[in-house]
Structure formats: C-alpha cells, structure tokens
Chains A and B, each alone.
Chain A
Amino acid sequence: MKQDQSKKSDNIQQAKTSVSPVREDSKVAYKKRIGVYVCHCGGNISDYVDVEKVRQVVENEEGVFLAKTTMFACADSNQKEMVEDIVTQKLDGVVVASCSPKLHLLTFRAVTERAGLNKYNYVHANIREQVSWAHSDNKQGATEKAIRIVRSAIAKVRRSQALEPIKVEAVRTVAVIGAGVAGMKAAVKLAKSGVLVYLIEREFFVGGRVAQWDNLCISDETGKELITRLYDDILSHKNITLFTGAEVVEKSGSIGNFSLKVKITPRYIRMQCNKGELQKAIDVCPVEVPDKFNFNITKRKAIYHNYPGEYPQLPAIDIENCTRCGECEKVCSSIDFNQKPEYLDIRAGSILLATGFDPYEPKKGEFGYGEIDNVVTLPQFKRIVHYCNGDKLQFKGRNIHNIAYIYCVGSRQVNGENKYCSRYCCTSNIYTAIDAKKRFKDINNFHFNRGIRTYGKQEILYDESSRLGDIYLQSFEDNPPEVKVVDGKTVVSINDILTQDKKLEVEADLVVLVTGMVPRKDNSIGNLLKVPRGRDKFFNEIHMKLRPVETVIDGITIAGAGQGPKNIVESMTSALAAATKSFTIVASGELALEPTIAKVSKDDCEWCGKCDDACPYDAFTPKEIDGKTVAVVNKSVCKGCGMCLPVCPSNAIQLTGLSDDEVESMIDALMEN
C-alpha cells in the first residue's frame, strides 16, 4: 500500500508530488481527507530535521490523503497550491508542520478559509521552535520528535469540527507606554485614526532621548523642534490623554480588554502657576545634583526643567534629592508639597510599548573612561558641543583641537554581551564631528573605527567628513586602539590596518567613546507585561520580517529603540507600523476569539455546583432539564479557560477543541511506535 520506497528522493519537487494514489481505496472508510505539509523553512527546520522522512512516515497515517514537503509553507506560491489541493482533492482537514503557531497559525487558517474549509479544521504542528531549533544538537532525536508531533496534530485534526469564533468587545483605546518620538508618533497616528489613546510617560517631560539632541542628521532640524511638533500634534487631538510622571504598576486582562493601574507621581507644583515665581524658586534652590539630561556633565537643581520651553512647560521637583529646606516655598506660591501620588485605573484594547533605550555606559577603565578626565561618551560630547558658545570648543576649561573618536564602544563585542551593531552611532558621531569642525576653530577629527556603517543617505556625511580632512584609522576587534596618558597628555594609538598595520598615535585633547544603545536597565514594565526579550535583551518581536511589531503577548505591540537599535527615522517607521497593528486590534470594537468554551453533557451531569465554584466568570447556572438539575453554560460569558474541567466529579464537561478524545488521542499519537 505504500509508494515505491526505492524512488525516495530528497528532491523537494519529487516530494511535493509524492501523493500515494494506491492508498485511495483505503481512505474511503476515513471520515476526514487530511492534507499534511511539512515545511523546510528554508533550512531552519530541514537542517536539523529530516523532513522527507517525516513526510514518508506520516503519509501512512490514518486519514492522510496527501503529504508534501515544501521549502516555505508560508510562501504565496505554496499557499495557492494548498488552496488548490484542498479544493481539488476535497480535503477537509489540514496540518502544516512548520514554525510556532504564534507566527503562522492565522496564515494557514486563512488559507483553509480561502479554500472554503472551516478554519478550525486546520491544526498547526510546531516543529521549528520546539523541535529543530530546540534540538539542533540532536538531528535524529529532532526528526523522531517531529514525526510524533505531526502524528499528534493529525490525530487532532481527525477529530476537528467546523466552529465559529466567539465575538467579544474590544475596548477602542490603546495605551501607549513611553512618550519619546516613537510613542508620540504612534499616539498621533492612532488618534488620527479615531481611537482613544492614553500616552503614559514615566519622566516628567516628553521627548525621551531625542529631546537631548540638537541638530539631527540629515534635516538639521533639532530634536527639540521635532518634539515640539509632535507635542503640538498631541495637544491638538482630543483623543489623546497624556500622563507624565506616570508609570504602569499593575496589569490584568488580555487582548481587547487590558486593565492597567497607572501611578501618577506628583510634580509638587500646581498646574496654574506663576512662571516668574517658578524661575525664582529654581534660582534659590540650594540643591545641585548631576544633570542626567546632560549625561552628568552639568548640574541641575532639585526643582528643575531639562531645558527652557520643555514640554509640558511646568517644572517638577526631584523629591528624592529635595531637602525640603523651604527656600522655594518662600518665593513661589505654586509649590505644593502636599500633593500625593494618584492611582488611575484605565482600560485598553491594546498596549503599544515604546520605552526606548539607554546609552551604553562604558566600564571604568574601558578606553580610559572614568580614569582619564578627558575621555567622554558620544552623548556627553553632543552636549559639550551644544553648550559651547563662540568659536572655541572647550571642556573643563581647556581648549579642544585634536579629537579622537573610538568607535563601537559597547557594540559589536565579540566577547562581550552586546554582539549587535547599534546602527545609529557612526552616523551620529560623524555628524557631530562635522558640526564641531564647522562651528569651532582648529578642530582635527581622528576616527578610530572598525569599519564605518553610515548606510543609505547617511553615506553623504562620511563623504563630507572625508572631504573636510577628517582622518580615519581602522583596526579589528582583536586589536583595538589604546588610550594612555603619556607625560600628562592623552595619547590614542592604533595599529592601522589601512596603512599595513603601521602604529599611529594621536595626542588627543578629547577622547570620545562612540557608545551605542543598550536595553533599558530598568525593565520593570517589560517584567510587568511579560514581554519576552531576545538574545540582545531588547524586546522581541514575533518575526523580524513577517510580524515585526507584534509580541507573543496578544495585543501588545512594540516600537522604537526598545525593540533594538534604531535611528529616528527607523523608530518613526516602526511606530507607525505598531500603531497600525494596535489599531487593527481595537478598530472594530470587536474581536474574534477562539471558540473554546465548555460544554456540559446533560446525561452525565448531576448538578453539584463544583463547576460553578471553579468558574471565575460565573458561566454556570443550574437548570432543570428532563426532570433533573444539570449545569448550563452561558456561552457569552464562558472564556474557555477550562478551570471547570478537572473539578467535575462525573467528567461531564468537555472543552471545545480540547475534548478528552482529542487530548488522549494526541497523547496516544505521541507515544505511537
């Protein structure tokens, strides 16, 4: 009854056509005509799993009418072929063995729907995340596991039924967490689309990192101007409610109906205030602390705003550093130390996470950082350039002429934690170096790099920098430049591979460590929302190409540099994508959920009330039917959690799609030899 095994071939085309017509007669007795597709995933699966062997084994399973391997099951061409197969072969059950269902369950359900088949007659088998990748160290074991998992999926699809999804309300509100450029852009986009937005910013001021930058490549618009435009957009939309000094501290619910508790930290300044008095309050405040906004190269008061005209235009009191000396209260009637934290409960159908990044903080002694006083980071250098007036660039009272830039500090680490390229730093640094050269006298730029990555239009900057006479020196990771103090001078040396490893030295007045992006040190929001992080510790999308702004937590999208290093353009683009995705979740005000609900057998049920006790949604009520009291399920209330299943003493409750028959047949299939 099997096809000619001597004609076995790894050739995919042959595999695709290796349906076994000789089994036709034996299929008649089966209720289902099942099609099985085993995906190579371009090698992601087939490098570790013998997919042809899987296909050969499962094609002999009961009910399997067609079994194919495919290079990319998700490819348009394969989807079309599946539709054709389902129609022409009259398939009424389909299994695709491929990646995680988080990625493509919906894709293949849609395929079955396009072929006129109820989508719940599709079952997904995860043989990538839970097989080929998890067991890439054991090909034989991975292949055997894949066979069993596909058999288990076949066992389930044999018992599948045509079902209709359950419709539930989706709150037409999106909570956007983080009011940097990505969060602000997403909020504006969502508001323009007609949904309500809660924009929640932990800091007292909006703008995130971009507010800290001056001129931006390539438009020369300043970060502050960009933030002002976005802030004006936000204020002009009645759909947006902005919270500053606000933090999400509790979350419950799920897609369509998240409940969030937001803590609003007081500014200790009344909203209706006298601005003249506030400036006096800042002036008299005796407390000075390192100013994080300027990366600690300047100091600020305990009552502060980061820069004049910052949004919202109301200073805040840094209560952790405030000594409560009372000086500010003497000159300003708007100070109010009686303000208390507020807690707000909000509901949202989707959450958009745009919490940004931290700049890499070099370790003490890393290229002299923290030990040599003229070694700074790129963000610090940008603030130094910003604060210098006149035609001289100065730092700590000394004139700066020779500047040595050391690239890839904290990025592209072969042995360190940060393997990735931070993408923005080459461009940002060269842009700032050109700016310094144009604004100040006698600036000589020396770029100690590991290969410049000013991709796309940004290449113009590299060209301009070269034409302005900047010197580029290059080395590999294993032989980085050295920073030393020699006779009171800071000297940077390198074995320059561009001049055949010639040792070159530069006496630098300032050393700039071109630092990249790292994930936020404080991941409290990530932990609260349980959004997974990838190997780089940034928030992880489901798939970088196919589902680039969705997370495995249904209803939570991600945008901006919290997802990984991005420049402003890329952050904005991802924000628009995430906003669109969140919009699609809440737009109609209704969500189609899995039709997984409890069903009670009135023959087996002897009302005892245990299901009612277990149900968190009060979905069960007793009802007299045919002379006895039985449990009845309110379908509009049941969420399909299944908490009622194990408590029923007469096993009268089954869950749709997860009946005893289905689960036990899957277990049997996993154990089948």
Chain B
Amino acid sequence: MNSGKLNNSVKILVFSTEKISDPAIDMAGLLKLHYPPTVYTITVPCSSAVKPRWIMHALEQGFDGVFIAADGTDCPYGETCTEKTGKLVQETQDKMKELGMDPARLKMAAICSICSEPFVKHVKSFVETLNGMS
C-alpha cells in the first residue's frame, strides 16, 4: 500500500485561501455536500503563496494528492494570482516528473467563495484519478 493511503483511502491536502475558497469549503459542509473525510485543508492567504516545497513535503509525507483551491479572478490581492498559481503548479509538476512522480498528483482549480458544489466535484474526481494510479 502506498504510504499515503490511510485506511485504504487516498489522502488529499487542499491548500485553500482564507477569503475565497475557505468559505466555499465551509459552505459545502453546511449544505451537507459530502466528500471523502481524508481531504484536509490548510489555509493560505492566496493560492499563489503556496511554496512548491510544501507540496513536495506533503507528497513525501504520504499525501496521495495535493489540490490547490485557487482564488482565480476573485483574488483580493490582484489579477496576476491565477497566472502565478498556474506557474508554481507547472514548476512543481516539472519537479515531480524529474523525481519520477506522477504530476497528476498535483491539481489546481479555481474555487470561488460560492463554489461549494464545484469544490466537491473536483475533489471527488481527484480521488477517482488518484485511485486509478498504481
């Protein structure tokens, strides 16, 4: 079993943003939109603040996947957030490839403050993707 598997369930670390995607994830709970309980969240101010080393650390420690719930165009810190988040994701995926890791274990999607349903859909499909990996 992959060291990241706990109780045979894939574990996903979500980097979520305090002002934008956190409210959506909270709302998913309020609306009882269920998703696997092995999805954990760490809050950051902006999705473009996520360091590749944090992502690598999570994967090395056993998380099966890392999901960046990006601010998208709603970022309160500026319009360049999406581009910068995309860039750090790309760079991290390149590094993952170099290390022989499947880059699909890192996923990014824009989650706005009212995107509860899209969030749940994204994590569920990510779980399926990760389950499909060896």
Give A contacts to B, CB under 8 Å: 100, 102, 126, 128-138, 141-142, 144-145, 148-149, 152, 252-254, 527, 530-535, 540, 552-554, 596, 614, 616, 639-643, 645-647, 651, 655, 658, 660, 663-664, 666-668, 670-671, 673
Contact A639 B77 (CB under 8 A): yes
Please tell me which one of the listed residues B29, B37, B57, B76 contacts residue A129 in the complex, with CB atoms under 8 A apart: B29
Please tell me which one of the listed residues B25, B36, B45, B51 contacts residue A640 in the complex, with CB atoms under 8 A apart: B45
Does B103 count as interface, using CB distance less than 8 angstroms? no
- Residues of B near A668 (CB, < 8 A) are 61
**Apart from A152-B40, A651-B51: 14 A-B pairs, beta carbons within 8 A:** A126-B26, A129-B29, A138-B34, A141-B38, A552-B22, A639-B77, A641-B46, A643-B80, A646-B48, A646-B52, A646-B88, A655-B45, A655-B49, A671-B61
Given contacts A126-B26, A530-B113, contact A658 B37 (CB under 8 A): no
Does B104 count as interface, using CB distance less than 8 angstroms? no
Contact B37 A131 (CB under 8 A): yes
Q: How long is the Cα–Cα vector from A532 to B111 in the complex, in angstroms? A: 13
In the assembled complex, the CB of B40 is this many whole angstroms from the nearest CB of chain A, namely 5
Q: How long is the Cα–Cα vector from A149 to B80 in the complex, in angstroms? A: 31
Contact B41 A130 (CB under 8 A): yes
Q: How long is the Cα–Cα vector from A144 to B37 in the complex, in angstroms? A: 8
Contact A616 B77 (CB under 8 A): yes
Please tell me which one of the listed residues A129, A135, A254, A533 contacts residue B114 in the complex, with CB atoms under 8 A apart: A533
Contact B29 A642 (CB under 8 A): no
Given contacts A141-B36, A645-B51, contact A614 B44 (CB under 8 A): no
20 residue pairs bridging A and B, Cβ less than 8 Å apart: A100-B22, A102-B22, A102-B26, A126-B41, A129-B25, A131-B37, A145-B37, A530-B112, A531-B113, A554-B19, A596-B45, A639-B77, A642-B45, A643-B48, A643-B49, A660-B54, A667-B54, A667-B61, A670-B63, A671-B11
In the complex, per-residue mask of B24-39: 1 if CB is within 8 Å of any chain A CB, else 0: 1111111111111110
Please tell me which one of the listed residues A144, A527, A553, A642 contacts residue B46 in the complex, with CB atoms under 8 A apart: A642
Q: How long is the Cα–Cα vector from A253 to B48 in the complex, in angstroms? A: 17
In the assembled complex, the CB of B119 is this many whole angstroms from the nearest CB of chain A, namely 10
B37 to chain A: closest residue by CB: A141
Contact B23 A128 (CB under 8 A): no
Contact A134 B54 (CB under 8 A): no
Q: How long is the Cα–Cα vector from A102 to B42 in the complex, in angstroms? A: 15
Given contacts A553-B113, A554-B19, contact A658 B29 (CB under 8 A): no
Interface centre among A102, A145, A616, A671 (most CB of B within 10 A): A671
Contact A149 B40 (CB under 8 A): yes
Contact A134 B35 (CB under 8 A): yes
- Residues of B near A663 (CB, < 8 A) are 42, 51, 54, 57
Does B81 count as interface, using CB distance less than 8 angstroms? yes
Contact A641 B29 (CB under 8 A): no
Q: How long is the Cα–Cα vector from A664 to B63 in the complex, in angstroms? A: 12
In the assembled complex, the CB of B99 is this many whole angstroms from the nearest CB of chain A, namely 17
Contact B30 A643 (CB under 8 A): no
Q: How long is the Cα–Cα vector from A642 to B112 in the complex, in angstroms? A: 19
Contact B61 A130 (CB under 8 A): no
A648 to chain B: closest residue by CB: B51
Please tell me which one of the listed residues A129, A531, A533, A660 contacts residue B51 in the complex, with CB atoms under 8 A apart: A660
Q: How long is the Cα–Cα vector from A533 to B77 in the complex, in angstroms? A: 24
Q: How long is the Cα–Cα vector from A504 to B61 in the complex, in angstroms? A: 72
Given contacts A136-B34, A142-B37, A535-B31, contact A643 B81 (CB under 8 A): yes
In the complex, per-residue mask of B44-67: 1 if CB is within 8 Å of any chain A CB, else 0: 111011111110011001110000
- Residues of A near B80 (CB, < 8 A) are 616, 643
- Residues of B near A667 (CB, < 8 A) are 13, 42, 54, 57-58, 61, 63
Q: How long is the Cα–Cα vector from A537 to B64 in the complex, in angstroms? A: 35
Please tell me which one of the listed residues B25, B35, B63, B76 contacts residue A253 in the complex, with CB atoms under 8 A apart: B76
Q: How long is the Cα–Cα vector from A579 to B19 in the complex, in angstroms? A: 22
Does B84 count as interface, using CB distance less than 8 angstroms? yes
In the assembled complex, the CB of B70 is this many whole angstroms from the nearest CB of chain A, namely 13
Q: How long is the Cα–Cα vector from A145 to B61 in the complex, in angstroms? A: 17
In the assembled complex, the CB of B28 is this many whole angstroms from the nearest CB of chain A, namely 6
- Residues of A near B78 (CB, < 8 A) are 616, 641, 643
Contact B40 A660 (CB under 8 A): no
Given contacts A129-B30, A530-B113, A552-B26, contact A254 B84 (CB under 8 A): no
- Residues of B near A137 (CB, < 8 A) are 34
